[in-house]
Structures are given as C-alpha cells and as structure tokens.
Structure 1
Amino acid sequence: MTRYKLLALDMDGTVLNSRNEISETTCEWIHRATECGITVMFATGREVQSIEPFVRQLGLQSPLVSVNGSEVWAAPGCLKIRHPLANEWVEELYELGRRSSCYYWAYTVKDVCTANNWPERIERSPDDAWLKFRFKCTDPYKLQELHSALSAVGRYELTNSSPHSIEVNPRGINKASGLREVCRMLGIRMEEVIACGDSLNDLKMIQAAGLGVAMGNAQDIVKSAADWVTGTNDEDGVAKVIQTFLLNVNCGSSR
C-alpha cells in the first residue's frame, strides 16, 4: 500500500505534452490512481477558466490550486480562498512594465489584461480582483534587472513558468502554500503528497511535498531540488510517477 494520498500536478510542461494535450497513456494512469483512492489534483499557474476543460476531461472533483496559489478551490466551482494583488501594487507593476522593454500582462478573476488592452482604471472590485502579474523578456540581462527591481520592493513572490518570464504573486503565496491549504481541507500531511512540476513556480511545492518530482524537461534548478526525476512531458513522465510510487509498477527510475 502506498504511503502517498495526494498527487499534485502542474499542467504546462508536466501533465500537458508539447501539443497542449493530456496523452491517452497519462489519462489512463490518472484514472487508475483515482480508482485506487488517490486524490489527483492540478496545482498550476493557469487561471481556473483554462483549467476547467482538462478537469472535465479527467472527470476530477478534487481540489485545485490555480494562479500559482492565489486561488484555492475545495472542488471545481467551489472557491475556498483567494489572495489578490492590491490595486496599488498592480499600478506599480504596470509602471515597471511600461518603463521596461518587457512584455507584460495580468490576470484578474474574470479577464486577462495585456499591454495592448490595458484598462484605463486599475481599481478592481473584490469579485474581479487582480490575481497575478507576468512579465516576459528574451533578453536575460533586462529580465534580471527587472527581477532585481521587483525583489527590492519586498512584497512580491517571484517565480517563473519559463526561463524568459517572471510571475508575480503576493509574497508568501505560491503553489506550496496552496497545497498546504488543500492538505488542511483533506486532513492529510504534506509528507503524504507527491508534487510534480517543471518550472520555478513548482519549486517550493516540490521541496515541501513528501516526494518532489521534476519532469525530464524541467529547469535545472527544479531537477536539483527534486527527490526524483521522471520522463519528460512528451514521454508520459506523470504516468511513470503513478506507476512507480502509487501503483507499484516496476518501470525504473530516472534518478
């Protein structure tokens, strides 16, 4: 019998392959895990609207961590807690983006605001609060300069979902904090969690989980922090995790 009760999956670069799909093999093994009583859930930087089609595909009724932990859902459609960015913080982030040569955009509860359609009014009501701000720049020096400026402010959680991006949430809000909230809801310990991911926004949950798994396509810093490295997202790496650690199928280790 496995010691693990919950499998937390990042989406892009993890459960989704390079065609932005969940493969038939990965679907099959996720279904096998849920049939054996394992809670399988998404912990992602995506907003909930873009998670829902994949939740329906898998038939999941489990909790969700969305927007890098800014929202925690007890089940699809049932919001447990939300951690928004303050309006004045978004004003500050917008000004930083406008002065830089980086592309920027931000997620609210209901919308995505980009540099091309930025609203005239920053102020948002609580039911359409700002959830995450994101910058993208292919120049590593400019990106590092922006990262340093954001770090100096001291109130932001800074991660990425690719080496060319910076994702901004309120300080202390990340996938690990969201996963801890889920564990409290379900009455399980973090030691009973497997967390899988590929990017910097997965790092803290991989470090906090009982078993932290990096995808074969993960950033090097994530691989170094993980307990185990599985196959890539195009090699059904998530299925291999389920086979090896949840259903005790001997398929070998990548580390």
Structure 2
Amino acid sequence: MSDESQQPIRLLLSDMDGTLLLPDHSLSQRTIDAVRSLREAGVSFSLATGRPPRAMLQTIEALGVDLPTAAFNGGTVVHPDGSLLVAHYLPAAAALMTLALFADQPEIEVWVFSCGDWLVKDATGPLVPREQHGLGYPPVVVESYEPYLARIDKIVAASNNTQLLVELEARLLAKVEGQAQVSRSQPVYLDVTAMQANKGQALATLAEFLGVPLEQTAAMGDGGNDPAMFHVAGLSIAMGQAQDEVKRQADVVTGANTEDGAAQAIERYILPR
C-alpha cells in the first residue's frame, strides 16, 4: 500500500464477484460506463478472479476487456485469444492433503477445477446451483479426483457453515504452508491454489507485460483473496461490504457493490489522476 495521492494510475486490476458484479452477477450501466471512461482516459483495465477463464467471458465481452485476464486467483493468466501467458497448478501432494482434510467434513462440498472443467463427485449439493448460475455452465460428475492431480487449477470447499471454513482455513494453512495458497474468496468458499496463484503475482505479471510500474497500478476487491494484490498495487481499494480485515489492508474504501462502489472508486480515485 502507498500514499494514494502520489502517482497517476495506468493500470487497474479488479476483482469480479462482489466488486464489479451485482449480487445477481450482472453489471450495472454505471460500472460499464466507468470502465469505458478508463479506456478513453488511457488507463488499462483487466480482471482478476477466483473463477475459471470460461466463466469470465461474458464479463470480458460486456466490458470490452482486451488485455490478459487472471483466473483462479492468478493461477492462470490468459490472453484474449485463450492462449496462456502464465499457468500454475496445485502440487499433487498439496492437493492430496487438501482433499483428505475436506473429505472428513460432512458439511463441505468439494469441487475441483481442472482442464477447463468444474469437477464434482455429487452434483446435488446445496451450493451447486449458486455456483452454476455464477459460472454459466454445469459441473462434470466424476468418481475420483485422482486422475486430475497433475493439472489441478483450484480446489474449493463450499459450505454455508462459514465458521467451519474459517477453522478449515487455519488447519489447512498449517498443513500446506509453502506449498499452496489458502484463502476465502467469498464467505461460503475456501479456495486452494498453487503458491504462485495469487492476485498479487497476477498484478505484477500484468504490469510487467504492459510496462507499467507497480506504483502506477491500482487494485480493487472485496474478498480474502484480494489483499494479495492490495499489497502490490500503488493504490488499493476495498469495497464497502468487505470484511473489516480486508478493508484494513486497503488504502481507501469505496461503496458496496450494490451501490456501484466500483464505479464510485473509478470516478473518485482513478480518473481525476
């Protein structure tokens, strides 16, 4: 984090769910207009999300994003034509430890993302419809995750028991320290990705690709996976509905996503510079 008044911003990297998107996963016209104003002002704009690349396409098209975007919390950075700029997979040993811990939890739905697919053992879980609505495509039912261990992008523990996810986060961090990133992208989702798969690394990769100094970048988000890019960016912006722990790690706090907080931040903190 840095003094938000010092540098002009040449690149904004934004989270999607809970930041740009409304609770129904749509974009407001004000947000669309704000992103268009960024491009007209010569400010580069891209996306960083826990979603897979396939689930970003509608938002990319609606906002006219023409730069590489970061999926799986930064584990995969994808060019607009679908080719990979960067790909980091979860080590098999860390994946096995994660799956073993989650398997003992009856309140947890375990999802694996690999090779472009969303894999589940049970497609009747209570949070599957929510995820399918957000992603825009259904899961693939498999008997075992072992055939996919070499190319796992992300493992998710999904549960309405948010306190259990907090406890699992602490337990898993101790088991996979130095091998994997563990963070709650949303209150009901605990994400596990490769160590290099974090939004801070994604921001650094994009800034280098574009030739933009990090002090002239901004990052905006609301979840537990967003402070990683807050700590790298020249200006960090937390959404108004974010948890206090996330807000404390940002330079400024904007309105909630239900109040067009992303557009407010662009208009107030980025365009004037």
Residues 210 and 122 (structure 1 numbering): CA distance in 2 closer, same or farther, change over 3 Å?
A: same
CA displacement at 1:100 relative to structure 2: 1.6
User: Residue 190 of structure 1 aligns with which residue?
Assistant: 214
Counterparts of 1:185 and 1:200 in 2: how far apart (Å)?
26
Which residues of structure 2 form unaligned runs of 5+?
A: 1-6, 123-140
TM-score, normalised to structure 1, is 0.89
Match of 1:240 among 258, 264, 270: 264
SS in 2 for 1:159: strand
CA displacement, residues 57-116 of structure 1 (integer Å, 9 cap, x when unaligned): 122111211110110124352310100113343233222211122221111132111241
Counterparts of 1:13 and 1:136 in 2: how far apart (Å)?
17
Q: Identity across aligned pairs (percent)?
A: 30
User: Residue 169 of structure 2 aligns with which residue?
Assistant: 147
Counterparts of 1:81 and 1:7 in 2: how far apart (Å)?
19
Equivalent residues in 2 for 1:55-74, closer than 5 Å: 55-74=60-79
Residues 76 and 12 (structure 1 numbering): CA distance in 2 closer, same or farther, change over 3 Å?
A: farther
CA displacement at 1:238 relative to structure 2: 1.2
TM-score, normalised to structure 2, is 0.84
SS in 2 for 1:21: coil
Tell me, yes or no, if the aligned pair for 1:87 and 1:123 is still in contact at 8 Å: no
Q: Report how many aligned residue pairs link the two structures.
A: 247
Is 2:144 the counterpart of 1:120? yes
Match of 2:183 among 142, 150, 159: 159
Is 2:89 the counterpart of 1:89? no
Q: Match for 1:120: what amino acid?
A: S
Q: Match for 1:95: what amino acid?
A: A
User: Residue 37 of structure 2 aligns with which residue?
Assistant: 32
Residues 118 and 90 (structure 1 numbering): CA distance in 2 closer, same or farther, change over 3 Å?
A: farther
Which residues of structure 1 form unaligned runs of 5+?
A: 250-255
Bigger relative contact order (CA 8 A; separation at least 6):
2
User: Residue 42 of structure 1 aligns with which residue?
Assistant: 47
Counterparts of 1:36 and 1:28 in 2: how far apart (Å)?
12
User: Residue 79 of structure 1 aligns with which residue?
Assistant: 84
